[in-house]
Structure 1
Amino acid sequence: MEIENPQPYFFGDIGCWSERTDVHKAASEGQVSKLQRLIQSGASVNIVALDSITPLHEACLSGHTQCVRLLLDAGAQVDARNVDGGTPLCDACSAGSLDCVSLLLERGAMANPTLTSHTASPLIEACVSGNSDCVKLLIAEGACLESYDLYLGTPLHVACVNKHTDCVKVLLNAGAKVNAARLHNTPLHHAAKNKRVELIQTLVEYGANIYARDQNDRKPVDYTTPGSPSAACLKFYETTPMSLQELGRLAVRQTLGTEGLKAVDQLDIPKLLISYLCYQ
């Protein structure tokens, strides 16, 4: 049941508690004109419904950029938290809405908000949804490549679990740790479980350890079907060492580190070498 209150009572800088209001509904459904009328009539844009969800959360989760803009212009808190600590940026990334993500970041949303164990980082949410452009934008804004989720692992784990090869490539080229482990599971273990040959090849090219063992003492190849393309791919890498050229690239990238990789295209070296270092 909706609580009508023409002059809502405010406490702190959030607004009053209420059931889901007309403002929430308009934001969620992308009803721009209705939302504008409600704001002009004095409705609070920071009113929180159950679970501390604001209209801005609703608009972001549905990917309604115009509603997001209206709410922000009217004073909506860009980093408002829901009951689990999630921000509107987390929701926009979950929706895979590049426009909403871009707008929120322009308005000062934190790319690395402090989160609880119940909430994934914006970068992890973007890797779940599989929008590589969102991933690129978040990384450009300083999103932590190794943000860790208790249940999901790092963004690279998440991208591999969800079979988003484009996101994997963006993360790796930005310097994500290819052998990061969750319960000894590496991204390569997930790629093998999903039987994704292109994903396996990409991870190995970036230095994935094909001999890494998980909590069950199993290597990535142990999760493939004998005789399958993914098994053949991993068996090939086990018997064929990397070339000196490939090892040199990995050594240079490792020496540069994550911060140094951002300046690779500014090095005074031939463009072909820059392209090689960036896996282009």
Structure 2
Amino acid sequence: IKNTPRANSSCFFTPSLWLLQEKLGSSNFVSDWSPLHDASIHGRLLTLKKLISQGSDVNLVTTDQVSPLHEACLGGHAACASVLLKHGAKVNGVTVDWHTPLFSACVSGSVACLNLLLQHGASLHPPCDVASPIHEAAKRGHVQCVEILASHGVNIDHNIKHLGTPLYVACENQQVNCARKLLESGANVNSGKGLESPLHAAARSCSAELVTLLIDFGADIWAKNAKSKRPMELVPPASPLGRLFLQKEGPLSLMHLCRLSIRRCFGHKQHQKITGLLLPDELKRFLLHV
């Protein structure tokens, strides 16, 4: 009997179970753990190829419906994922926790796996709000994954009741670079979790960098949450962040208002569209917040 390498699993693999699967040859057969899963999560490419050449089913799943492709992406092993996909692995397979291989790639932050899955038709839309790839990438600070998903047309303002928007999740977890990438891609700066805005999350975490970033992109400092609290009212009294909010209480400059208005006109593809404008580089840098 062999324990699975997943730390959160109590499943076991037995040789007799594996032999039974090989004998039945059914893609619907459920195994707790297999050598194929083991090779995939550890990136053992030669072993994986050998098992497939011997007839192992690439779509064999565990009792939690975890496939070898899920494991390869979770481990960030693009070469293994590529072999599995070439042999018919289901690109949009879903586990009992609603995880897709795309979600697993966003957990590991593997850009190679993410690109590979998208090339093979992976769906950008989560089968359930429990496991959203863009939210997971934002939460973990995987900026390149956020950028790739945004460039492929994912809904960057997808609002999940228990999580909020990807921008809110990034701010809640103090992922400044992900928040910036989302804002550059046209995310709604004031859309958060219910009445709680991303600025509320940034103020609560006392992140001056996030607060400055959000206000520069037009965050409403007067917005009130469900408890009728403004972002600045969530800042500890002695915090320097309170002074920053006071400095930002006045009206925005005409130049700032123009920048926000122009970016708003371009919508979610504002970064690409502004880059392509026939304008002096200095003006483009200003519009791009560079």
TM superposition score normalised by structure 1:
0.92
Inter-partner Cα distance in structure 1 for 2:106 and 2:24: 31
- Matched residue type, 1:71: L
Inter-partner Cα distance in structure 1 for 2:190 and 2:25: 52
Inter-partner Cα distance in structure 2 for 1:260 and 1:276: 13
Asked if the contact 2:25–2:57 (Cα under 8 Å) also holds between the matched residues in 1, the reply is no
Asked if the contact 2:186–2:270 (Cα under 8 Å) also holds between the matched residues in 1, the reply is no
Pairs aligned (count): 274
1:6 aligns with 2:29: no
- Matched residue type, 2:168: H
Structure 1 gaps, min length 5: none
- 260 and 165 in structure 1: CA distance in 2 versus 1, 3 angstrom threshold: closer
Inter-partner Cα distance in structure 1 for 2:206 and 2:248: 15
What's the CA shift for 1:123?
Answer: 0.9
Partner of 1:156: 167
Partner of 2:282: 272
Q: Deviations over 1:67-114 (max 9, x none)?
A: 21221122111111112332100111011111211221222212224x
Asked if the contact 1:94–1:128 (Cα under 8 Å) also holds between the matched residues in 2, the reply is no
Inter-partner Cα distance in structure 1 for 2:276 and 2:23: 56
1:102 aligns with 2:118: no
CA RMSD of the aligned region, Å?
A: 1.6
3-state DSSP class of the match of 2:49? helix
Asked if the contact 2:167–2:192 (Cα under 8 Å) also holds between the matched residues in 1, the reply is no
Inter-partner Cα distance in structure 2 for 1:39 and 1:22: 10
- Which of 211, 216, 220 is matched with 1:209 structurally? 220
Inter-partner Cα distance in structure 1 for 2:279 and 2:269: 18
More displaced 10-residue stretch of structure 1: 65-74 or 54-63 = 65-74
Asked if the contact 1:15–1:44 (Cα under 8 Å) also holds between the matched residues in 2, the reply is no
Inter-partner Cα distance in structure 2 for 1:243 and 1:102: 41
Equivalences for residues 171-190 of structure 1 within 5 A? 171-190=182-201
Structure 2 gaps, min length 5: 1-11
Equivalences for residues 44-63 of structure 1 within 5 A? 44-63=57-76
Equivalences for residues 1-280 of structure 1 within 5 A? 1-2=12-13, 3-4=17-18, 5-10=21-26, 15-113=28-126, 115-119=127-131, 121-238=132-249, 240-259=250-269, 261-280=271-290
Asked if the contact 2:74–2:107 (Cα under 8 Å) also holds between the matched residues in 1, the reply is yes
Asked if the contact 1:160–1:199 (Cα under 8 Å) also holds between the matched residues in 2, the reply is yes
Asked if the contact 1:157–1:190 (Cα under 8 Å) also holds between the matched residues in 2, the reply is yes
Inter-partner Cα distance in structure 2 for 1:127 and 1:72: 26
Identity among equivalent positions (%) equals 35
